[in-house]
Structure 1
Amino acid sequence: MRKALVAALMLSSGITIADEGQWQPYQMPSIADKLSERGIHIAAEQLADLTQYPMNAVVGLGYCTASFVSPQGLVVTNHHCAYQAIQYNSKKEHNYIETGFLAKKMSDEPSAGPNERLYITEAVTDVSAEVKTGLSDDPLKRFETIQANRKALIKQCESDENYRCSVRSFHNGLEYYLIKQLIIRDVRLVYAPPESVGAFGGDIDNYEYPRHSGDFTFLRAYVGKDGKPAAYSADNVPFTPKSYLKINRDGVKAGDGVFAAGYPGSTSRYRLTSELKFASDWLYPTLASRYQLRINTLEAMGEHDTDVAIKYAGTLLSMANRMKKYNGLLDGFKATDIAGIKQSREDDFSHWLANNSEYQHYQAKFDQLEALLIEQRAAQQRRYFFDNAQSSALLSAANQLYRLAKEQTKPDAEREEGYQTRDMKMFKARLKRIDSRFAVSVDKTLWLQDLNAYLAQAHRVAALDEMLNLNNSDIILADTLDKLYSSTSLTDPAKRLAWMNADVNAFETSRDPFIRLAVALYDTNMTQEQAQKTLAGKLSQARPDYMQAVIAYYKANDWPVYPDANGTLRITYGMVDGYQSRDALYKQPFTRLEGLAAKHTGVAPFNAPQKVLDAITAKRYGSHQVESVYQDPASWLCRLFSCLDKPESFGSVPVNFLSSVDTTGGNSGSPVFNGKGELIGLNFDSTYEAITKDWFFNPTITRAVHVDFRYILWMMDEVDHADNLLDELTLVSN
């Protein structure tokens, strides 16, 4: 508790928190002095310009980050970010998850899958005024007007079909920005290490340190012969990016300034204490419990069926990662008393409001927001089990298809997002993708678990109970589901896709059991959606009002002001640094090859490939193209640990390293740069103690974990002999 109080005092004392911030690129000139203090010498104005190096080489995957590293569209990201692409190309006869994959020539590079995309952000425009035009005091009308204004801006932006645009809310609706992104629709798998390298340590090491993970994979962007984005075709050619990253093969050492660029998914640093307590007391434990049950089921079923193991490998990896994060958040909340820290700041904020004549009236708005949040949490708890009771992949598809038929009766501009003409390519691709990660036995088992959880709670839905005869205590639910799956045509990909062209009447007269269930549940789902929209309309006024006062309070205390992460391009900076994880345990910033060998047990997840172990044992630290990187300790190994008493003792290849950059989910695959803007690593994880940074940034323990690019080069050169790819890279030295 004493530590929590000290931290709370620090937060309310006006001390600037070092390295905190997931900054919008345009903000970089405003923190140029901080970048310079960290030894980041690339011009802040250059980082703010999305048309210049290095920001025009940073791309999104829609869920992770990647970057161009060659003039021929070669892209590097994390292994776990490309996992679905690896799984998509894995079969019983060639399981690339286990063996890895390397295309020695471009003609051998297979499609990463119909859903894979690269998004290149070309413009970010403030459209706050346009989105807020004509807003009503009526909550539902207010919500609908915001959506209509957003869709109009998006439609205008997407006059060229090769672009995908979105309007994102910043500072909880205080600001809106229009994001314009070029879409690359033909993405191919180029080089992936085996899972025993890419995910060495598996879930045991997830969020832990020291780490020895080769979490990297190379993809390639392809376009039509005219240079424009196109769907996969054998005739397509590699994309020529506007720039690609230079790779510094000397890397970095402890104390060096670094920065990362990427697409962080979501943070909650401006959320209220009551929201944190709800997450801690109900939401995270509930989600973690469900994930654990599903993980146990998938692991058990995969042990007896290789096809199931391959199809659900990506799903299992994602679930395990989320579950460990939730558990880490819960542990972190207890260890640091973050609720107490946030409450202390809120109390200080209320005191500041009361003594600031310009903002005194915002206290009433603060109270109104708290009341709305109580309403929101109650609604979320009521919906939770019903939403999960629709978790079957086939029922989800049926729900979306029937909704599509309904939406297509409206003018395109009035349709719900996700069901407009602009969405149809991705809609179709998602329906196709179902089969690559679907097995009837698994889907049925997981759905049965969710239905049993639904039956065990009080918030029942009559339409669902009636359709599945859930009020009849004599029925065996598993038998009911067997009949549904045996009678549906939605397991047939062609028939499933054909429903995209069906009208409402075809759905409402269908005898397919999943279609019938979707039709029966539609009104309930729409009623709940309408209630959510009404509440969102209320929050769209209350949250911006609150944020306006909070930002003024932060500025008055000289604290960094940046928006919570929302999946848009951000830049974060810091330094290469270890940390004190607990009493008498300091974690050094670099790990090395010998540490990997020491962890090897021969049993997954600590089962390094023999060719990796052989190279380590023989101390084969490099050859030909990258020889100078590894075989001259005086030139770089000694510099690597200049802060230690015996730097020459490192004598190896660095594998992973730590820095204080401010990252979260979505930053996976983010390029990590040295002070000159040269690529030196890939972000892939955070330390366990740092998981709570989504709610609160603690500079003493918040560390991100990166793959050192020297390890990637070593794998390419000494282990897998990816000479063709090494020739594509531009390697520079200090």
Structure 2
Amino acid sequence: MKKTLLFLSLMAAPALAGEGKWTPQQVLELDPAWLKAQGLQVSPKKLWDPKRGTGLLAGAVNVGGCSGAFISESGLVITNHHCAFSIIQEHSSPQRDLITQGFLAKGRAEELPGKGARVQVPRSFTDVTKEMFAAVPAGADDLARQKAMERKEKELLAECEKRPATRCKVASFDGGVQFVLIDSVELADVRLVYAPPRAVGEYGGEEDNWMWPRHTGDFAILRAYTAPDGSAAQFNAQNVPYKAEFFFPLATEGVKPDDFVMVLGYPGITFRALLADDMAERQARYYPRVVDVYGELIRILEEEGEKDPAGKIAVASTLKGLHNRYKNAGGQLAGLKRGHIVEKQREAEAAVVAWAEKRKEYAGALKARAELLSLQAEKGKAFEREFLLDAMRVGAKGPALAVTLARLAQERAKPDLEREPEYMDRELPRLKDRLEREQKNFFAPADKRAFLALVRRAQALGAGERIAAIDKHFGRTYSEKDVSAKIDALYAGSKVLDLTERQKMSVETEAQLRARKDALLELGFDLATELVALDELRDRRLGASVRLMPEWRKAVLAHAGKPVAPDANGTLRVTFAKVKGYTPRDGAFYTPQTTLAGVMEKHTGQEPFNVPEKVAAAANAKRYGPWADKRLKDVPVNFLADADTTGGNSGSPTVNGKGQLVGVNFDRVWENVANDFGYNPDVARNVNVDVRYVLWLLDQVEDADGLLRELGVRKGPKAQESR
């Protein structure tokens, strides 16, 4: 990767500790002596070889929006329980409730395939900044600019993905300062090997979510498979385990306070480069609306799920996602307020402005900032309507599926390179999987109530923010009785919610879909019209941002005079950290480790603190095996580190200086949720499952002898074909 940009020119300094989600190339530019002093015991070149474009960091893989890690040469991947939840749910029923009971494959033949589950292994990174900007025609307005860059991105992806089983991505860094083409191998046969019972994987539930102390075994083990010749392939009984070049052996000695660790993975998105006004809008409007709208949807799904065992399983995956976003939003609000983050950002911006005003070469940066502020003010005028339209895409599956089918038919009529990215040929297998997978998540009573709540909100919008599709199908004034009757009729008379018919619809033309005279489909087409218009408006805004933000960011980076890692964007990163506790408030200190004794102290016999009987039996008998920490005199369960993580780091491997796995990242502490907007070393703590708790469960609770041998932690021959 070319070192052409300011943020890639790093100085090695202790200030880098903790803060920063560094790219693989940036790791090579850090001072090896400093890294060694921190605790890194392998050469940085072992982490990443720029000539090959790979290295130990490639042992960290993308698992469908989460992170994961190879932990054996035979394709075993460890990630979070909540990241593997869709596979667990897929194979669950009231008669065989794997969500509650957990699952252990006694042999490879018993491993459970996950519909649509994929693992991506990074292969190379290429700077394509010049190509992206060269694609913009002279005199292009903001919409044309975005469309031209999007077209170039599609062309780059098409060329990159000519190789079989390849998944590529063009990632934007620092608001458009740099664009990088990322080439990954995509493994499409992924199977569940082990998942603990839900009362382990989610111990503490929403009560403990984002909190410390934690006692949660949020991990699961998958296996990636390939065709017998080693090429990636769809599920087939003849497939063989993937041979991982890079994987992380398990560090059976675990960690102790002040140990050096690295967290590797694919952090999703952070907002540290936002202007203060953008941050203020999120604080004042976006997060409060998430709490409000998603809170209502959660209540609806929980109430309806409790009425029916099958319904409870059906809404479980959706509820998990909603709960996480809901509590995250609350944490962001608390953190933004507690840390005075918006105020600090205003001060930081003012300092850059004052500095730039004295330097003629940054006049363009000041002008760009002024225009960005104007664009933000304009965007805020349509906030409520845009938020609800987005909620329509995910809040109720009936209309969301109808919209997807409508958009798919319309986009498929265009040449592939002219379609919206999510409807290109490369995305059709994923769309097909989702259209099928959603059947498992659909529970009509809950879905209809959720849609009713969204319609009620839409009908309450002001005159300038109306959603025409809702007004057309439900009227402009809310009547619960009338709207409920119309929703009942929509669902009862539609084939959209029938899997077999939906699969037929997914390959039909718009004319064929219209000829069905399906009222829910017609609503989908009407909503799609408004969503297409919204997407175009956002494309115009994005074009403006790519024109303006790089100018401003160059001034910010020059003013900083020190390393500034780019915001998270779903690409491979590493953060360096130490195991340490923190002070959440005056007079209190949280130690960095929790133990099995703490699990049992929380045990009430009632959810969310109901320890499974087999776990409690081993714990009460103090059957620790070799997994007890000598200092703690107990089995460690979770530990804290000051790594710089965010959403997407779920399932990230936490490794020691030798490159051995010591834990699996799964959360942040409540005081650190607003870390997305700014790193605070006093409270920046990520939460990890200790590898010794993983091994204790496999050994003393599950007696998973074959799996332990395969992982290399139990003496004897390695796993045979039966394991």
Q: TM-score range by the shorter chain?
A: over 0.9
Deviation per CA, 1:251-309, whole angstroms, max 9, x where unpaired? Answer: 11111111010000110011111111111111000011111111111111111111111
Deviation at 1:732, TM superposition (A): 10
Tell me, in whole angstroms, the C-alpha distance in 1 between the residues paired with 2:326 and 2:223: 31
Deviation at 1:449, TM superposition (A): 0.5
Tell me, in whole angstroms, the C-alpha distance in 1 between the residues paired with 2:546 and 2:378: 14
Mapping of residues 528-607 of structure 1, within 5 Å: 528-555=534-561, 558=562, 560-607=563-610
Deviation per CA, 1:673-701, whole angstroms, max 9, x where unpaired? Answer: 11111111000111111111100100011
Counterpart in the other structure of 1:146: 149
Deviation at 1:554, TM superposition (A): 1.7
Deviation at 1:410, TM superposition (A): 1.9
The equivalent position to 1:485 in structure 2, one of 471, 480, 491, is 491
Contact 1:18–1:699 (CA under 8 A) maintained in structure 2: no
Contact 2:40–2:658 (CA under 8 A) maintained in structure 1: yes
Question: Secondary structure at the residue paired with 2:361?
Answer: coil
Q: TM-score, normalised by structure 2?
A: 0.93
Counterpart in the other structure of 1:642: none
Structure 1 vs Structure 2 CA RMSD? 1.9
Tell me, in whole angstroms, the C-alpha distance in 2 between the residues paired with 1:338 and 1:472: 39
Which amino acid letter does the alignment assign opposite residue 677 of structure 1? Answer: G
Moved more, 567-576 or 24-33: 24-33
Counterpart in the other structure of 1:424: 428
Q: 1:348 to 1:725 in 2, by over 3 A?
A: same
Tell me, in whole angstroms, the C-alpha distance in 2 between the residues paired with 1:354 and 1:314: 52
Question: Secondary structure at the residue paired with 2:492?
Answer: helix
Mapping of residues 202-601 of structure 1, within 5 Å: 202-389=205-392, 391-458=395-462, 459-470=465-476, 476-555=482-561, 558=562, 560-601=563-604
Tell me, in whole angstroms, the C-alpha distance in 2 between the residues paired with 1:140 and 1:35: 45
Contact 2:581–2:590 (CA under 8 A) maintained in structure 1: yes
Which amino acid letter does the alignment assign opposite residue 83 of structure 1? Answer: F
Question: Secondary structure at the residue paired with 2:576?
Answer: strand
Deviation at 1:438, TM superposition (A): 0.5
Counterpart in the other structure of 1:31: 30
The equivalent position to 1:706 in structure 2, one of 672, 688, 692, is 688
Counterpart in the other structure of 2:46: 46
Contact 1:17–1:699 (CA under 8 A) maintained in structure 2: no
Deviation per CA, 1:177-222, whole angstroms, max 9, x where unpaired? Answer: 1111111111111111101111111111111111111111111111
Deviation at 1:88, TM superposition (A): 1.0
The yes-or-no answer on 1:619 pairing with 2:601 is: no
Contact 2:265–2:574 (CA under 8 A) maintained in structure 1: yes
Counterpart in the other structure of 2:719: none
Deviation at 1:475, TM superposition (A): 6.7
Deviation at 1:314, TM superposition (A): 1.6
Counterpart in the other structure of 1:647: none
Counterpart in the other structure of 1:175: 178
Q: 1:583 to 1:605 in 2, by over 3 A?
A: same
Deviation at 1:15, TM superposition (A): 10
Deviation per CA, 1:393-432, whole angstroms, max 9, x where unpaired? Answer: 2322222222222222222121211212211111111111
Tell me, in whole angstroms, the C-alpha distance in 1 between the residues paired with 2:706 and 2:82: 23
Moved more, 475-484 or 14-23: 14-23
Deviation per CA, 1:80-126, whole angstroms, max 9, x where unpaired? Answer: 111111111111111111111111101111112x2211111111111
Which amino acid letter does the alignment assign opposite residue 314 of structure 1? Answer: S
Mapping of residues 2-17 of structure 1, within 5 Å: 16=15
Deviation per CA, 1:330-384, whole angstroms, max 9, x where unpaired? Answer: 1112222111111111111111112233324421111111111222233333322
Counterpart in the other structure of 2:708: 726
Mapping of residues 96-175 of structure 1, within 5 Å: 96-112=98-114, 114-136=115-137, 137-175=140-178
Counterpart in the other structure of 1:680: 662
Q: How many residues align?
A: 695
Contact 1:600–1:606 (CA under 8 A) maintained in structure 2: yes
Q: TM-score, normalised by structure 1?
A: 0.92
Question: Secondary structure at the residue paired with 2:648?
Answer: coil
Tell me, in whole angstroms, the C-alpha distance in 2 between the residues paired with 1:103 and 1:135: 53
Contact 2:259–2:579 (CA under 8 A) maintained in structure 1: yes
Tell me, in whole angstroms, the C-alpha distance in 1 between the residues paired with 2:469 and 2:250: 58
Q: 1:442 to 1:76 in 2, by over 3 A?
A: same
Q: 1:216 to 1:521 in 2, by over 3 A?
A: closer
Counterpart in the other structure of 2:97: 95
Which amino acid letter does the alignment assign opposite residue 583 of structure 2? Answer: Q
Contact 2:355–2:559 (CA under 8 A) maintained in structure 1: yes
Contact 1:247–1:732 (CA under 8 A) maintained in structure 2: no
Counterpart in the other structure of 1:10: none
Q: 1:309 to 1:690 in 2, by over 3 A?
A: same
Deviation per CA, 1:578-619, whole angstroms, max 9, x where unpaired? Answer: 111111111111111111111111111111112222222222
Tell me, in whole angstroms, the C-alpha distance in 1 between the residues paired with 2:360 and 2:478: 63
Which amino acid letter does the alignment assign opposite residue 38 of structure 2? Answer: R
Contact 1:467–1:520 (CA under 8 A) maintained in structure 2: no
Which amino acid letter does the alignment assign opposite residue 70 of structure 1? Answer: S
Tell me, in whole angstroms, the C-alpha distance in 2 between the residues paired with 1:682 and 1:80: 12
Contact 1:65–1:262 (CA under 8 A) maintained in structure 2: yes
Tell me, in whole angstroms, the C-alpha distance in 1 between the residues paired with 2:714 and 2:333: 43
Question: Secondary structure at the residue paired with 2:263?
Answer: strand
Moved more, 36-45 or 238-247: 36-45
Which amino acid letter does the alignment assign opposite residue 22 of structure 1? Answer: K
Question: Secondary structure at the residue paired with 1:446?
Answer: helix
Unaligned runs of 5+ in 2: 1-12, 716-723
Question: Secondary structure at the residue paired with 2:206?
Answer: helix
